[in-house]
A and B are shown apart, each in its own frame.
Chain A
Amino acid sequence: MNGTRASLRLSIASLRTHRRRFAGTFVAVLLGVAFLTGTLVMGDTLRASFDTLFADANAGTDAVVRGSDVVTVAGETQGTRQPVGTALLKRIERTPGVAAAAPDIQGAGQLIGADGTPIGGQGPPTLAGNWIDDPELNPYRLAAGRAPAAPGEVVVNRGTAERGGLRIGDTTVLRTPDPVHVRIVGLATFGGQDGMGQVTYTAMTRADAEKYLTPKPGRASAIQVRAGPGTSQRELVDALRPVLPEGVEAVTGQAAAAENRDLISGAFLGLFTTLLLVFSGIVLLVATFSIHNTFAIVVAQRTRENALLRALGAARRQVLASTLVEAGAVAVIASAAGLAGGIGIAAALQALFPAVGFPFPDGSLVIGAVSLLLPLTVGVLVCLGSAVLPAVRAGRTAPLAALRESAVDDSGASRTRALAGPVLLVASVGVILTGALAAPSVWLSAVGAVLALAAFVVLGPVAATYAVQALGAPLDRLRGVTGRLAGRNALRSPRRTASTATALMIGVAVVSLFTVFGASLKATMNRTVDRSFAGDVAISVPSFGAGGSGLSPRLAPAVDRLPQVAAAVGLGKGVAKVDGAGRALTVTDPAALGKVFDLGRVDGSLAGLGTDGIAVSGTEAAKRALHPGSTARLAFADGKRREFTVRAVYDRSELAGDYVITRQAWAPHRAQDSDSLIAVSFRPGVSTADGRAAVVKTAAAYGNPEVQTRGEYARSSAGGIDMMLTLVYALLALAVLIALLGIANTLTLALHERTREMGLLRAVGQTRSQLRSMVRWESVLVAAFGTAGGLLLGGFLGWVLVEASAGDTAVAFDLPPLRLLVVALVGIAAGVLAGRRPARRAARLNVLRAIAAE
């Protein structure tokens, strides 16, 4: 069709002449697509690397014999399995098709580095186990030294030894959690790598492992089995099944490796990629606004040109098509560049990770079809979608518009907006309040949040008028006519100002949402400690991640004996199914618990729980219809079922958890004995400093765990939050960058429209620096509007998130003034930055040529 070719020619000509105008669009699409591609490629590559790693490491294991029952507690990925008796080993070895079998004892063990501080424990687990002599069955390989043969001898994975500055021949302490003095006799690798990510691994002799990692000898976490020649994994499992007692199962090595891999993929990679995908979504959303704005302006500026085309006989469809083709061309080129960029980012990260101490598994980048097609499609759709409305508007250009003077889009806020906006806003607030307060539901709140965002977008132009006037008022007074001009310019097209600011608003809103949410979590922790922690100091394991090996169960009694200490109560963790549902248990001395925790109102007594009594929190009791005197059926991971009598129902579960049982009741069912928190209260008259010094001295002999005051304990409980916030800020910096580019781009385009005006201003005596300042202040006003909207929206949604995620637990809402002020300043600084280049370019303007410009 000739007409199509004509519009195609027009598009290409336009792209060529207005290359500069599309630079901003190009970069926005490119960054968004690059982020998305990078995320997908990174995810695939990591997943593939872990696949290979696990497949390689476990290649020699053909079957795994293990307890069939798993107790899983909310918030934990792995769950607890019943141990297997090692007596089974003989029977397994005699089974036809079995070449070798070895017990696999696994537990927690944290090694102390050469400098006296524990290695790891701030995330990935710190594992200890028995060294399996059969090299086929052991996922670890000796890289140096020899296998442990005598008591106290250990092999450590090479990465851990390097991190801790430990060498073969060194002696150190392994917390299991009781300190064990060990000597390193060998270094090991996992699947050819220095370790399994940041996981630390210490292997001892089987006798040591049984002694320190299991409650009594004769039990292992699992038994690894190797098949003889000619026996497949499937056949091996089938042969093993008849010899296994009830409650013990056999799975193929492949299945077990896949489970392990999925665990890592699910827990670590899943979270990692989901987070990144959400952020690429935000980045692309921000980009959408920037792109839409660019096209809207370009179309407005081209009104006369399009009208001329229409007057000369171009069909509406042809004008529309020429705009869309333009958008499509930018989209495809920018998306392709983004793809390349994303792959580059992934490659760079792969190279960078080992440098920052994260052993990224080797292997080439995995670039799947999805990683290519999805970002490309999304990039093109975002770009085309953003251009559709402006293109339709271009098509609607009346031929008569060619004759009109003004080619500037000075459209204000329409009545539809003024009506639809408030309706949408009220609806969103309604939905949100229902979701946050009446029927707490994160999903309902999320729907409300989307509605609120839509309301803000629709109301933007209406709000822009008032907001810019209000924000610009001080400028008028401070900066005189320069400030006034900046304000008036920002007000010229409220729609344009609003949509430019929206990009920044979204970025700032997400930043403030996370800021508020993070601060609220911290405030909640503070309040919890304030309300419920009645002690003076706490000895705790890192709250973030697996928490190392925990605390020695003998530490609490040792601290309790100190003359300064009134009470020291250790709390350990247990798991059991309560009426069929996995639940975490708090294992402690319930009688003493009241001395260090404020449990609120207690029905019944915690004093005499014995081996068959249990205390339950009020909320959990209400949910399961338990009350003092009623019976709770617990099923433990070792397969034992016991009935417990509820002897007390307490009010505050923030620190004590939902179920409390005695050490005596837990002892028969536990694997490794450890505490995760020891709460200490001092005798009257003992200063915190003195008491703490005494506790620190005692604790030194038990692996030197950290002794924290109440404030430190509250802060460390929220320690992971700051880390998450830092990551979120880093990711959102990209969104803010795109918004900044959008402001700069809009400003450049707007200044292009105002060339004559600026020429006039310069002619009648505006200095270059006044002109620069005028442009900059306009940029700052737009940014300030976006930032204000973002703070408002983010603050509100932060409150919603806090309320909606609260569920039963009481949470504290906190608006951190200092952090939000920093966010506001960053937003405004973005405006200053965005205005720099357009301002400089405007100042270079030739006065005469500007006055003569069309």
Chain B
Amino acid sequence: MTTAVPTSGPTPASVPASAARVVDAVKLYGTGDTRVRALDGVSVDFPAGRFTAIMGPSGSGKSTLMHCAAGLDTLTSGSAFIGDTDIGALGDRRLTLLRRRRIGFVFQSFNLLPTLTVAENITLPLDLAGERPDQEWLDALVDTVGLRDRLHHRPGELSGGQQQRVAVARAFAGSPDVVFADEPTGNLDSRSGQEVLRLLGRTVRQTARTVVMVTHDPVAAAHADEVVFLADGRLVDRMPDPTAERVLDRFKSFAPPPLAQAVTA
């Protein structure tokens, strides 16, 4: 099932160059009896300037896909690209520099360094690179996430939602090619979650950025331009212009038992 999944979106010719993609991605964990195929030959590309959600029940390999695509983990076989760079060929140092310059991250929790202020957290990747931030872009970002009055606070003084918004600002601060978000709303109440998701969507649309988000929440997935579905380590479907209902329906068809949990969680 590694053939391209038909999509009803724009024609291939008009699809923009991909910001990130994986080709025949296989990831094995463990050995012998305990061997698990987390990714079983996945090929998928994340088009530039789009907000893509990766959905799937737990154990479907969605987080593994994201980690491998983002250069946090390595594939057992197959290849992963950021733009035209084959990240499988990079050593730890080059990979780190690539993450620093071309990738942004938003994790589920613990996104910020408690010792740094909000402002310092936002510019952390740039500071690590020893680069001066684009002040205009940064100001725009800070306004977009709405944290101007909190810039000199420590993360500990912020609510969970505010912390995630700082993380979003940090992820976009260096104008990366692609931002990976791993269940960014997983630890938030629904209102704060909505805010963060809207923020992600708005940033993509207003500034033509690329976001790849892993989620198991159909409501969250509905904020994306497109949803790719994963099950048992394989890509099973793609859905452009998703709505929460359609995602939920599609989801039910291939993973009834875990879905019930996921949706009610």
- CA A491 – CA B114 in complex, angstroms? 12
- When C-beta atoms are compared, the residue in chain A nearest to B110 turns out to be A756
In this complex, the member of A480, A762, A767, A769 whose beta carbon has the largest number of chain B beta carbons within 10 angstroms is A767
Interface size on B, residues (CB 8 A): 28
Is the CB–CB distance between B125 and A764 below 8 Å? yes
B107 within 8 A of A: yes
Q: Is the CB of B110 within 8 A of A848?
A: no
Q: Are B114 and A764 in contact (CB under 8 A)?
A: no
Residue B12 at the A interface, CB < 8 A? Answer: no
Which of A337-345, A481-489, A619-627 contacts the other chain? A481-489
Complex partner residue of B125 from A484, A485, A765, A769, CB under 8 angstroms: A765
Assess the A847–B72 pair: CB atoms within 8 A. Answer: yes
Contact in complex: A485, B92 (CB < 8 Å): no
**A755-784 interface mask toward B, CB cutoff 8 Å, 1 = contact, 0 = none?**
011001111111111100000000000000
A768 touches B92 (CB 8 A): yes
Residue of A nearest to B111 (CB): A760
Residues of A within 8 A of B97 (CB): 765, 767
Chain B nearest Cβ from A443, distance in angstroms: 46
Is A851 interfacial (CB-CB < 8 Å)? Answer: yes
B172 interface residue (CB < 8 Å to A): no
Which chain B residues border A481 with CB–CB below 8 Å?
120, 124, 127-128
Q: Is the CB of A848 within 8 A of B128?
A: no
**A302 CA to B26 CA, complexed, in Å:** 39
Q: How large is the interface on A (under 10, 10 to 19, 20 to 34, 35 or more residues)?
A: 20 to 34
- Interchain CA distance A629-B124 in the complex, whole Å: 87
Question: Is the beta-carbon distance between A764 and B67 smaller than 8 angstroms?
Answer: no
Q: In chain B, what residue has the closest Cβ to A489?
A: B115
Give the residues in chain B near A488, CB-CB below 8 Å: 115-116
Q: Which of A496-516 contact B (CB under 8 A)?
A: none
Is A851's CB under 8 angstroms from B113's CB? no
A492 within 8 A of B: yes
Minimal beta-carbon separation of B139 from chain A (angstroms): 20
Interfacial chain A residues near B107, Cβ < 8 Å: 760, 763, 851
**A385 → chain B, closest Cβ, in Å?**
33
A761: chain B residues at CB < 8 Å are: 113, 124, 128
Query: Is the Cβ of B113 less than 8 Å from the Cβ of A480?
Result: no
Instruction: State whether A768 and B130 are in contact (beta carbons under 8 Å apart), knowing that A489-B115, A760-B111, A761-B113 are contacts in the complex.
Output: no
A764 near B92 with CB under 8 A, answer no
Q: Which among A492, A769, A770 has the highest number of chain B CB atoms within 10 Å?
A: A770
The one of A492, A763, A769 that contacts B105, using a Cβ cutoff of 8 Å: A763
Q: How far is the CA of A847 from the CA of B67 in the complex (A)?
A: 10
Q: Is the CB of B116 within 8 A of A765?
A: no
Minimal beta-carbon separation of B111 from chain A (angstroms) = 7
- Select from chain A the residue with minimum beta-carbon distance to B115: A488
* Whole-angstrom CA separation of A764 from B166 in the bound complex: 14
A765 adjacent to B129 (CB under 8 Å): yes
Partner of A757, one of B92, B113, B125, B128: B113
A490 nearest CB neighbor, chain B only:
B115
> Which of A765, A767, A768, A769 has the largest number of chain B CB atoms within 10 A?
A765
Q: Does the CB pair B73–A848 fall under 8 Å? A: yes
B170 at the interface (CB under 8 A from A): yes
- In the assembled complex, how far is the CB of residue B200 from the closest CB belonging to chain A, in whole angstroms? 17
Q: Does B100 belong to the interface (CB within 8 Å)?
A: yes
Residues on the B chain within 8 Å of A767, using CB:
93, 96-97, 128
> Which chain A residues (35-54) contact chain B, with CB distance < 8 Å?
none
Most B CB contacts (10 A, CB to CB) among A491, A760, A763 go to A763
Which residues of the other chain, A, contact B202 by a CB distance below 8 angstroms? Answer: none
Question: Which residues of B are in contact with A by a Cβ distance under 8 Å?
Answer: 67, 72-73, 92-93, 96-97, 99-101, 104-105, 107, 110-116, 120, 124-125, 127-130, 170
Known: A757-B110, A766-B100. 20 other contacts (CB 8 A): A488-B115, A488-B116, A492-B115, A761-B128, A762-B96, A763-B105, A764-B99, A764-B125, A764-B170, A765-B97, A765-B100, A765-B125, A765-B128, A765-B129, A767-B96, A768-B92, A768-B93, A768-B96, A848-B73, A851-B72
The 8 tightest CB contacts between A and B, nearest first, are A765-B100, A488-B115, A481-B127, A767-B96, A765-B125, A764-B125, A765-B99, A765-B128
Could you write out 22 A-B pairs with CB less than 8 Å apart? A480-B127, A484-B116, A488-B116, A756-B110, A760-B113, A761-B124, A761-B128, A762-B96, A763-B72, A763-B99, A763-B105, A764-B125, A764-B128, A765-B99, A765-B101, A766-B96, A766-B100, A767-B96, A768-B96, A770-B128, A847-B72, A851-B72
